[in-house]
């Protein structure tokens, strides 16, 4: 797998309203997008910083999750498993693309995003 950058970082929160207010007030972040109580994305420049509900994160993540971008899905699972990681889930996110969730050898979650535009190429 060849990554093309970090697609984003998100923090799993229990109370979306409280967390959104915290990051707006504490760091002066500006909300770019909000999907009810599931997701809140801030305008932070080149790398997305977001808040996620536990459900939106797939029910596994409990802290910070790094999302790596890549152009292909083929071979990613095998490569991660060969390196000592674990495959957890694959999720079709419609027009956003497909996201695969893994854990590293220490049990930390990370995800790989294959944007939908790349899937059509």
Q: What is the pLDDT of residue 120?
A: 41
User: Contact 19/42 with Cβ under 8 angstroms?
Assistant: no
Model pLDDT, residue 117:
64
Question: Could you report the per-residue pLDDT of 8-63, keeping only the tens digit for each?
Answer: 899 888 889 999 998 898 778 899 999 999 999 998 888 888 989 988 887 666 67
Burial class of residue 61 in the structure, from the number of CB atoms within 10 Å of its CB (0-12 exposed, 13-18 middle, 19+ buried):
buried
Mean pLDDT (the chain) is: 84
The answer on pLDDT for 103 being more than 50 is yes
Any idea what the Cα angle at residue 71 is, between residues 90 and 67, rounded to 5°?
55
Coil vs helix vs strand at 50: strand
pTM check: above 0.95:
no
């Amino acid at each position: 797998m060849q990554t093309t950058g970090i697609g984003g970082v998100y923090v799993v929160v229990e109370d979306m309203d409280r967390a959104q207010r915290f990051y707006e007030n504490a760091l002066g972040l500006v909300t770019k997008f909000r999907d009810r109580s599931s997701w809140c994305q801030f305008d932070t420049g080149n790398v997305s910083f977001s808040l996620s509900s536990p459900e939106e994160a797939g029910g596994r993540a409990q802290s910070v999750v790094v999302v790596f971008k890549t152009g292909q899905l083929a071979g990613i699972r095998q490569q991660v498993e060969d390196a000592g990681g674990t495959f957890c889930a694959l999720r079709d996110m419609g027009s956003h693309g497909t996201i695969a969730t893994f854990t590293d050898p220490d049990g930390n979650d990370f995800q790989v995003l294959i944007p939908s535009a790349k899937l059509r190429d």
